[in-house]
Chains A and B, each alone.
Chain A
Amino acid sequence: MAEGKKVDKGRRKFFIQMLQGLGLAALGGSIWGGYVAEAKYDELVLRPPGALPEEEFIKKCIRCGLCVEACKNRENNPDTTKQTATLRLAAPGDHKPKEENKYNYPKEVPIGTPYFVPREIPCYMCEDIPCVPPCPTGALDPDLVSSVKNGKKVLDINKARMGVAVVDEENCIAYWGLQCDACYRACPLIDEAIKLELRRNPRTGRHAFLLPVVYPDVCTGCGLCEHACVTEKPAIYVLPRDIALGRVGKHYVKGWEKKDEQRLKGSKGIHKTITPRSEKRPEDYLNTEDLLNE
């Protein structure tokens, strides 16, 4: 009997200790989890080429900095001392721009992950993309920056989608009518990612606007335009694509594109209405008596 009691006590102590541990773990876990949930996300961060979507990227990046070292020590680094480069590894609390309030800057990049700030150093779009192949985990995926040429898969930096350039027409001096094509000329995909649109300048009546227009389907988000912009705070800047771009949704179909039209095939419940072309001529409509009577 006495012996039985002893065992019981030990067991009770064991359970209490387990519950205490559980309580501490729950408390610690909720604080830890809360912090991690906050610290893993920065909406303005720009990632290296070939980076997976941010949510996936954070899960895969092991924070080794091999991409940063590859970027820094590449042969064509404009900084010949190789002390700075486009990519940098986020350290805790180092998210301070060189010049306050003069360009977009990420607030709190998850520590240890690679990012770049185009106004300071843009991505120079190396053709051999040295930063992507060293990634050991696949957080930077070579497939996302490869295209097939002659049946062979080759790295193709033009497929990178690091972000997308956005023009602030209010503060772009080209939209004022001044002559400036800094971003257009800096763009590595000149006349593809940025085109100049000609428009008459009604203010002077004798000059043309030369307006930079970004084509998001081509823009890689390298930021050479943002780097080149002449205004105090750049009037053209790179934003993450999911921040800058909208989404049409599936319910719109480009009826004039055969490929998009295919999506309707086999769908049930959606009837295509074809409105027959009116046989009346537009003039008839304008000249009918009914219209005047209304």
Chain B
Amino acid sequence: MSNNVIYKHRFLIARRIVQISILLLYIAGNIYGWKILQGNLSSSKLLDVVPLADPYATLQLFATGALLATDVIIGALIVLFFYMFIGGRAFCSWVCPINMVTDLANWIRVKTGIHREEWQLRLSRKVRYWVLGLSLVVSFIIGAPAFELISPISMLHRGLIFGMGFGWVAVLGVFLFDLFVTKNGWCGHVCPLGGFFSLVTKPSAIRVKHDADKCTLCMNCKNVCPEKQVLWMVGKESVFVSSGECINCGRCIEVCNDDALNFGFRYKQNKEEKSNA
């Protein structure tokens, strides 16, 4: 059982199902008028009642100086609190459609041997925080949501629902960047939405937990992880992965042959363990 291919990719498969289902529900909302999910990831209506909104997009609108209606503020807070206190940065790995593009680029990169540490353009993972800050400054000065005008995420997602236009060019750009330039370049280094979620989701309950006693130091987890730096404790300490940069994709759990990594609820634990994390 534990060596079964499906079991070895259980989170990957689940993520793809979730990502594609959400996308299809949005598309059906537009084409057939289904009322399960209407709108798009920038802002939507769940079951025609619950407002949802992208907190980062909403923040940009605030930065332009606009006074927003309550609907979008409630929607943004619902999404924000969900990821902040429960899901972690799961948006990136379980919802975002660009994740499928960059995962494909990464998969080809590794399979074909394009990837070598010494070949890739080294970018700081802090670039995304600079881009995040910059987007708010530009939004404020120009009076328009700066990232929303160039976001490949919105272009792909909106494109699949409402019509793509030349949006595929931006998506291709991200794909080629991740394929040839830097491993996990877009999602792990540049994307300000990922940066935003990294900053706010630190307190989230669902976290990967490492058991150092079971670890055999094979480093499969670090090889597969798109945000390696969050796994600093592997083989050293039995703690939760507490960095906000972890996207809760569960790849590390799947590849671990020693059951040394698992999802856990952080707030079930006693205080001592929490403070370690």
Write the residues of chain A forming the contact surface with B, with a CB cutoff of 8 angstroms: 21, 24-25, 28-29, 32-33, 35-37, 39-40, 55-56, 58-60, 62-66, 68-69, 72-73, 82-83, 88-94, 110-112, 134-138
Tell whether, in the assembled complex, residue B75 and residue A59 are in contact, meaning their CB atoms are under 8 Å apart. no
The residue of chain B having its C-beta at the shortest distance from the C-beta of A114 within the complex is B162
Chain B residues with CB under 8 Å of A91's CB are 155, 158-159, 162-167
Chain A residues with CB under 8 Å of B67's CB are 138
Total cross-chain contacts (CB, 8 A):
159
Cβ contacts A to B, 27 pairs, < 8 Å: A21-B130, A29-B137, A29-B138, A32-B146, A33-B142, A37-B144, A40-B143, A59-B66, A59-B145, A62-B145, A62-B148, A64-B39, A64-B43, A64-B44, A65-B40, A66-B38, A68-B30, A69-B30, A69-B33, A73-B33, A83-B31, A89-B158, A91-B162, A92-B165, A111-B155, A136-B69, A137-B66
Known contacts A64-B42, A66-B39, A68-B162: does B69 contact A138 (CB below 8 Å)? yes
The residue of chain B having its C-beta at the shortest distance from the C-beta of A83 within the complex is B31
Q: Any chain A CB within 8 A of the CB of B203?
A: no
Chain A residues with CB under 8 Å of B162's CB are 65, 68, 88-89, 91
Tell whether, in the assembled complex, residue A63 and residue B69 are in contact, meaning their CB atoms are under 8 Å apart. no
Q: Which of A28, A55, A82, A112 lies in contact with B158, CB distance below 8 A?
A: A112
Chain A residues with CB under 8 Å of B39's CB are 64-66, 69, 136
Chain A residues with CB under 8 Å of B167's CB are 91-92, 111
Chain B residues with CB under 8 Å of A59's CB are 61, 64-66, 143-145
Chain A residues with CB under 8 Å of B57's CB are 62-63
Chain B residues with CB under 8 Å of A90's CB are 165
Q: Using a CB-CB cutoff of 8 Å, which residues 145-187 of chain B contact chain A?
A: 145-146, 148-150, 154-155, 158-159, 161-167, 169-170
Since A62-B145, A62-B148 are in contact, a sample of 8 more A-B pairs with Cβ atoms closer than 8 Å, ordered by chain A residue number, is A35-B150, A36-B146, A36-B149, A40-B142, A62-B58, A65-B158, A92-B165, A94-B165
Known contacts A55-B143, A64-B43: does B30 contact A72 (CB below 8 Å)? yes
**C-alpha gap A59/B54 in the complex (Å):** 15
User: Which of A32, A35, A39, A138 has the most B CB atoms < 10 Å from its CB?
Assistant: A32
Q: Any chain A CB within 8 A of the CB of B237?
A: no
Closest 3 CB pairs of A and B: A91-B165, A93-B166, A73-B33
Nearest-neighbour CB distance to chain B for A73, whole angstroms, equals 3
User: Which of A55, A62, A65, A89 has the most B CB atoms < 10 Å from its CB?
Assistant: A62
Q: Which interface class (under 10, 10 to 19, 20 to 34, 35 or more) fits B?
A: 35 or more
Chain B residues with CB under 8 Å of A65's CB are 30, 39-40, 158, 161-162
Nearest-neighbour CB distance to chain B for A33, whole angstroms, equals 5
Q: Any chain A CB within 8 A of the CB of B224?
A: no
Tell whether, in the assembled complex, residue B45 and residue A137 are in contact, meaning their CB atoms are under 8 Å apart. no
Chain B residues with CB under 8 Å of A111's CB are 149, 154-155, 165, 167
Q: Which of B149, B154, B163 lies in contact with A40, CB distance below 8 A?
A: B149
**C-alpha gap A72/B32 in the complex (Å):** 9
Q: Any chain A CB within 8 A of the CB of B141?
A: yes
Q: Any chain A CB within 8 A of the CB of B261?
A: no
Q: Using a CB-CB cutoff of 8 Å, which residues 116-150 of chain B contact chain A?
A: 130-131, 133-135, 137-139, 141-146, 148-150
Chain B residues with CB under 8 Å of A88's CB are 162-163
**C-alpha gap A35/B69 in the complex (Å):** 27
Tell whether, in the assembled complex, residue B158 and residue A25 are in contact, meaning their CB atoms are under 8 Å apart. no
Chain B residues with CB under 8 Å of A72's CB are 30, 33
Tell whether, in the assembled complex, residue B61 and residue A62 are in contact, meaning their CB atoms are under 8 Å apart. yes
Nearest-neighbour CB distance to chain B for A132, whole angstroms, equals 12
Tell whether, in the assembled complex, residue A136 and residue B166 are in contact, meaning their CB atoms are under 8 Å apart. no
Nearest-neighbour CB distance to chain B for A32, whole angstroms, equals 5
